[in-house]
């Protein structure tokens, strides 16, 4: 082998080594981003599950309240009945 071809091989080896370092850094950055995205996804999923549980509890509470509170439904064409319904449905002790 000639000195020039050895120098070329060393230069190419050095370039490949540098390229490998850059690729390794890039992959590490991507892995960190994926880890962060997965962690965020898990946190959001937990929040969604917590919210779904709260929604279910609120739905149950609304159903219980509806069962306890009667609402007077007036005949819409009867102005007196509408006023009476407004009074009864908005009575303070209700």
* Per-residue model confidence (pLDDT) at position 93: 64
Q: Longest Cα pair distance anywhere in the chain, in angstroms?
A: 112
pTM: 0.53
- Residue at 39 is within a domain: yes
Evaluate whether 36 touches 48 at the Cβ level (below 8 Å).
no
* Per-residue model confidence (pLDDT) at position 89: 84
Residue range 29-84, pLDDT digits in tens: 999 999 999 999 999 999 999 999 999 999 999 888 877 777 888 999 999 999 99
- Residue at 94 is within a domain: no
Number of structural domains found in the chain: 1
The SS3 assignment for 24 reads helix
Distances (CA, A) of 29 to 35, 37, 47: 10, 12, 27
Q: Is the pLDDT of residue 94 over 70?
A: no
Mean pLDDT value across residues 12-32: 96
Res. 8 pLDDT band, cuts 50 70 90: very high
Domain boundaries, position 29: 3-89
């Amino acid at each position: 082998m000639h000195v020039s071809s050895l120098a070329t091989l060393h230069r190419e080896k050095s370039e490949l080594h540098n390229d490998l370092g850059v690729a390794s850094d890039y992959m590490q950055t991507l892995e960190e981003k994926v880890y962060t995205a997965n962690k965020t996804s898990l946190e959001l999923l937990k929040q969604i599950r917590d919210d779904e549980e709260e929604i279910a509890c609120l739905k149950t509470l609304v159903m219980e309240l509806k069962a306890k509170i009667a609402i007077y439904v007036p005949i819409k064409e009867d102005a007196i009945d509408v006023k009476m319904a407004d009074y009864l449905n908005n009575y303070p002790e209700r």
